[in-house]
Each structure stands twice: as structure tokens, then as C-alpha cells.
């Protein structure tokens, strides 16, 4: 529950994120009766003329997302939403916004305030500076109750991230900066630590002695849609690896935190990123596969190639697919290959963590073909856990067959996974930073990603074309086949 009244000031209130994630999350929170009686959701933007137009647009987006909208809930939410016409470059608008916050604060006595920057990243620093300059941070209470929420990308390399962070921390303390990685709000990502730490059957063997390899694949079937301009600069490495992929990897491989505080967990994650950044990437060319989707015809329909998408240069060399093999040189994981893969326009949307165990079988069974134990943590679209183990084929002469034990979270009747943003918004309003990324995490992950980028360029690593809605480049299959393994997707 969110107990305290708050002011939620959304910059980029008319953008995609507001329409598709933030407002729908607020609707769900209202439906679950989690919101306090008094709060204000002040959405700034310029696209709409007035409040009525804005609310209508929000309603339409919600309708496109949900089968049914409960009018009472929508009414209770829309009563709290205020559309505030504001241009980032017009100082007068900030003065007006301050006055607006003052009036609201006098009436509703919020106990904290969120400034949520769901804007293009180029505005993050200048907006924070304007909030300070026009004294919007301490209206009605002291400045340290104002929180800043920053969407990704946090910089586009280490240097720009450092610059951005410097600008933000001159205004907000680290405690009040919430850097979003929406993967941390996903149900099964939050489950990783529980699975690791509360099950002796996994906890005891979570290391190089018993684990053969780790795979994380975050496959997407969509293309770049209308984000060509951003994506062509970012590519899959900055869009998915620097943040979501490395976050998942760190939760799987970090040492056990001594307590479940945001600071302690973050420290353990940082240790993983530091090790990655220290990795010697001299033979990266043998461990990386870059790809870009080409056109394809599926069910007589042509799927565009990446280079034919809007705002993508016809000779773009941006990778929309990346597979990477790496190692962590610590006591727990030395020698265990970690295979990471993510790409757009792959056959199916599927995000999974696969932990394959070693083949420590009793001598008596050496002459049989026995499968390794396999633990799958399924992030999406199905949520759940699957464990493969061996059993005797009924009525056979001791023939061994693998069977699966399944926990399907998303199959449970009446269970509707909360959307990532519901969880994250609740936490930011309650001041809980566990599911947000610290500056150290961001900086070390950039250090690693910059190093990969640099080596990729130095070694002119090939860009494979792969047909849209396929399994990606054949070379990615080879990457594992060369080690006698295969991807589990």
C-alpha cells in the first residue's frame, strides 16, 4: 500500500511511456485500492489543448490495452490527473508550475513528491536543473523529500553517464534518485533471489562444481517499431545488454547478500559488474556473434528488413542481435561459460534463464545417454520454473528418461501478474530502492559495455544478416555447438 499523499509530476506526460505503461499502472493500482485518498498526478506536455482532450487520449490508450475499463475506477483516477501545458524550454512555464504545486500542496499536504522524467534522455539533466533553478523541489516541505525518477537510457557510454550523474547529484542525493530498469519489476526477476536463497537444493549447488553453464536469452519478436532514431544509435548492446541483461546476470551470479537491503544487494551486483569490466576481452571475436535482421516473407506477408525500417540508414551497421559467451573469474564461477543472447525480430518473444547442471552420474549408468538436469526460470511470456530431472522409463529395462517438474505461475487461475510499472511506482512512492539501479551498478555496467564496443570496432567483428522472425544468425548456434552445447530456447 501507498500510505502517504504524494504529488507525482510526470514530464513526458503525453508520450508513449505515459500512455502505455505509467497511466495503465496507475489505473491498476487504483483498481487494487492501493493508492492513498489524496494524491495528484500532474502530467506535463504540449500535445493536447486541454485537460478534456488529454483525458480522452489516455482513456483511448487504456481502452486499447484492456478488455474492460471500470468506469468508477477510471473516474477516481481521472479526478486526480491534471494536465499541465509546459514546454521544457519556456522558463515561464516552470514558474507557473511552481505556483500550481504551491496551491495543490497547501490543500493536500503531500508528504513526498516524485519528478518522473519520461522524456527523451537529452532533457534529463536540463530538466533537473530547471526544477532546482525555479525552486520546485522544496514547495511545502524540505528538498530532501523530492525524488527524481529517470528512465533509461542513463547515458550512452560511461563518460556521458558520468556527466549526467554529476549533473543530477548536484541537485538530488543518491537516495532520492530512482533509475528505472523495468526488468527488475518483473515477477520472476524478483523471484531469482528467493529461488537461490531459500531452497537448499539449489543453494548448495549454485557454483562451478555443479553447474555446467548458464544461459540467459531475452528474445523479442517485434522489430524496432517507431523508435528507429534512438535504436540505431543504441543497438541491442545498449538497448538490452547494458541494463536488463546485465541486471539479470548479476542477480543470478552475485554472491549472497548478507541482508536484503537495497545497498547490500547493490554491492553484490556491483562486484559482478566490476569483474566483468576487468575481463580480458582479447579473444572476444571467438565469443561474440552480431546480427541484424533482414527481410522475410511469413504467411505471404513481407516483414521489413532493419535497414528498411523508418529512420534507419540503408547502410546501417547497428546490431539488432547479440550473442555473447563470457566467464566470471571468481571462486564461485571460474570456468563456467555464461551465454547471453538477445535480439529483435526473433521467432518468438521469450525470456528465460537456463541453468544446466553437470553430468555427475553414477558409474553404473555410464553406458546410457542421460540428459543433464536443467533449471529454467521463465520470465516471459510464461512465468514459472521448470526443473528437468531423470527417471526410469516405466516398464523398461532401466531406460533413463528426462521428465519435467513444472511450476507455472502464469497459469494459476485468478492470478494476474502485476505489471512491472505497478511494482516500480509503488516502490518509488514508498521510497524503496531495492528494484532500482544504483549509480555504481550503472557506471560499472557501462565500463564493461564500452569495452565490448571498443573491441568490436577494433576487431571489425562481422555483422550477420538473419531473416526476420527466425532463430537469429546460424553463427549463434555454432557458438554453443563448438562447446558441445545448445541453446535451450
239 is a site residue for ligand BG6 (CB under 6 A): yes
Subset of residues 346 to 385 that bind ligand BG6, contact rule: CB under 6 A? none
- Give every CB contact of residue 49 below 8 A, 6+ residues apart in sequence: none
Minimum distance from residue 405 beta carbon to ligand BG6 (Å): 26
Minimum distance from residue 371 beta carbon to ligand BG6 (Å): 29
Subset of residues 6 to 35 that bind ligand BG6, contact rule: CB under 6 A? none
* Pick from 442, 448, 424: nearest CA to 269: 442
- The smaller minimum CB distance to ligand BG6, of residues 220 and 427, is found at 220
From the list 19, 156, 244, 464, the catalytic residue is 244
63 is in an annotated binding site: no
> What is the Cα–Cα distance from 105 to 310, expressed in whole angstroms?
44
* Pick from 272, 268, 216: nearest CA to 240: 216
Binding mask 299-318 for ligand BG6 (x = CB under 6 A): --------------------
93 is a site residue for ligand BG6 (CB under 6 A): no
349 is in an annotated binding site: yes
Distances (CA, A) of 126 to 80, 119, 371, 439: 27, 11, 56, 19
- The smaller minimum CB distance to ligand BG6, of residues 239 and 427, is found at 239
Q: Total residues contacting ligand BG6 (rule CB under 6 A)? A: 3
Q: How many CB atoms lie within 10 A of CB 242?
A: 28
Subset of residues 426 to 455 that bind ligand BG6, contact rule: CB under 6 A? none
Contact (Cβ atoms closer than 8 angstroms) between residue 155 and residue 162? yes
What is the H or E stretch that residue 49 is in? Answer: none
- The smaller minimum CB distance to ligand BG6, of residues 152 and 325, is found at 152
Minimum distance from residue 220 beta carbon to ligand BG6 (Å): 5
Instruction: Tell me, yes or no, if 464 is annotated catalytic.
Output: no
- The smaller minimum CB distance to ligand BG6, of residues 147 and 152, is found at 152
> What is the Cα–Cα distance from 426 to 184, expressed in whole angstroms?
13
232 is a site residue for ligand BG6 (CB under 6 A): no
315 is in an annotated binding site: no
Residue number of the CB atom closest to ligand BG6:
239
DSSP string, 345-389: SBSS-EEEEEEEEP----GGGTTS--PPPEEEEEEESS-EEEEEE
- The smaller minimum CB distance to ligand BG6, of residues 328 and 442, is found at 442
Contact (Cβ atoms closer than 8 angstroms) between residue 44 and residue 11? yes
> What is the Cα–Cα distance from 45 to 61, expressed in whole angstroms?
16
In the block, which residue shows the cell 530532501?
Answer: 144
Minimum distance from residue 239 beta carbon to ligand BG6 (Å): 5
Minimum distance from residue 153 beta carbon to ligand BG6 (Å): 8
- The smaller minimum CB distance to ligand BG6, of residues 139 and 149, is found at 149
Instruction: Calculate ∠ Cα 259-262-268, nearest 5°.
Output: 70
* Pick from 444, 459, 423, 432: nearest CA to 155: 444
> What is the Cα–Cα distance from 349 to 14, expressed in whole angstroms?
28
- The smaller minimum CB distance to ligand BG6, of residues 13 and 343, is found at 343
159 is in an annotated binding site: no
Tabulate helix, strand, coil % of the chain (nearest 5).
Answer: 40, 20, 35
In the block, which residue shows the cell 548478507?
Answer: 258
Output DSSP code: residue 432.
-
Minimum distance from residue 332 beta carbon to ligand BG6 (Å): 28
- Exactly one of 93, 220, 232, 275 binds ligand BG6 (CB under 6 A); that residue is 220
Minimum distance from residue 348 beta carbon to ligand BG6 (Å): 12
> What is the Cα–Cα distance from 23 to 73, expressed in whole angstroms?
12
| Residues catalogued as catalytic | 244
Q: Which residues are annotated as a binding site for NADP(+)?
A: 46, 152
Chain residues binding ligand BG6 by CB under 6 A are: 152, 220, 239
Q: Which residues are annotated as a binding site for substrate?
A: 182, 186, 220, 239, 344, 349
Q: Which residues are annotated as a binding site?
A: 46, 152, 182, 186, 220, 239, 344, 349
Amino acid at each position: 500500500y501507498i500510505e502517504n499523499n504524494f504529488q507525482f509530476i510526470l514530464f513526458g506526460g503525453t508520450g508513449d511511456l505515459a500512455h502505455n505503461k505509467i497511466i495503465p499502472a496507475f489505473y491498476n493500482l487504483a483498481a487494487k485500492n492501493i493508492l492513498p485518498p489524496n494524491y495528484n498526478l500532474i502530467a506535463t506536455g504540449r500535445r493536447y489543448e486541454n485537460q478534456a482532450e488529454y483525458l480522452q487520449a489516455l482513456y483511448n490508450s487504456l481502452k486499447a490495452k484492456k478488455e474492460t475499463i471500470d468506469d468508477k475506477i477510471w473516474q477516481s483516477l481521472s479526478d486526480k490527473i491534471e494536465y499541465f501545458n509546459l514546454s521544457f524550454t519556456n522558463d515561464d512555464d516552470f514558474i507557473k508550475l511552481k505556483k500550481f504545486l504551491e496551491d495543490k500542496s497547501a490543500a493536500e499536504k503531500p508528504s513526498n513528491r516524485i519528478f518522473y522524467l519520461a522524456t527523451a534522455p537529452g532533457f534529463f539533466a536540463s530538466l533537473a536543473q530547471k526544477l532546482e533553478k525555479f525552486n520546485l523541489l522544496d514547495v511545502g516541505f524540505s528538498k530532501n523529500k523530492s525524488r527524481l525518477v529517470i528512465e533509461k537510457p542513463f547515458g550512452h557510454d560511461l563518460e556521458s553517464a558520468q556527466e549526467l550523474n554529476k549533473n543530477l547529484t548536484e541537485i538530488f542525493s543518491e537516495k532520492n534518485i530512482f533509475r528505472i530498469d523495468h526488468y527488475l519489476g518483473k515477477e520472476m526477476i524478483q523471484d531469482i533471489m528467493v529461488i537461490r536463497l531459500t531452497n537448499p537444493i539449489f543453494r548448495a549447488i549454485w557454483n562451478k562444481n555443479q553447474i555446467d553453464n548458464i544461459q540467459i536469452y531475452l528474445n523479442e519478436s517485434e522489430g524496432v517499431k517507431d523508435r528507429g532514431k534512438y535504436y540505431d544509435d543504441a543497438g541491442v548492446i545498449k538497448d538490452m545488454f547494458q541494463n536488463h541483461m546485465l541486471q539479470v546476470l548479476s542477480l543470478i551470479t552475485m554472491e549472497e547478500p548478507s541482508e536484503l537491503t537495497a545497498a547490500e544487494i547493490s554491492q553484490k551486483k556491483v562486484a559482478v559488474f566490476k569483474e566483468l569490466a576487468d575481463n580480458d576481452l582479447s579473444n572476444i571475436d571467438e565469443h561474440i556473434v552480431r546480427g541484424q535482421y533482414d527481410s522475410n516473407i511469413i504467411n505471404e506477408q513481407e516483414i521489413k528488413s532493419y535497414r528498411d525500417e523508418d529512420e534507419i540508414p540503408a547502410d546501417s551497421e547497428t546490431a539488432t542481435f547479440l550473442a555473447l559467451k563470457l566467464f566470471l573469474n571468481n571462486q564461485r564461477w571460474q570456468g563456467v561459460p555464461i551465454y547471453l543472447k538477445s535480439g529483435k525480430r526473433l521467432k518468438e518473444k521469450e525470456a528465460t534463464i537456463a541453468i544446466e547442471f553437470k553430468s555427475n552420474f553414477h558409474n553404473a549408468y555410464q553406458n546410457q545417454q542421460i540428459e543433464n538436469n536443467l533449471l529454467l526460470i521463465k520470465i516471459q511470456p510464461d512465468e514459472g520454473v521448470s526443473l528437468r530431472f531423470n527417471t526410469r522409463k516405466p516398464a523398461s529395462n532401466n531406460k533413463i528418461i528426462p521428465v519435467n517438474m513444472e511450476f507455472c505461475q502464469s497459469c494459476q487461475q485468478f492470478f494476474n501478474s502485476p505489471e512491472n510499472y505497478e511494482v516500480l511506482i509503488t516502490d518509488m512512492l514508498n521510497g524503496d530502492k531495492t528494484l532500482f539501479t544504483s549509480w555504481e551498478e550503472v557506471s560499472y555496467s557501462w565500463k564493461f559495455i564500452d569495452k565490448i564496443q571498443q573491441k568490436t570496432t577494433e576487431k571489425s567483428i562481422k555483422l550477420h544478416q538473419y531473416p526476420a522472425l527466425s532463430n537469429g544468425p546460424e553463427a549463434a548456434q555454432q557458438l554453443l555447438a563448438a562447446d558441445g552445447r545448445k541453446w535451450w530456447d
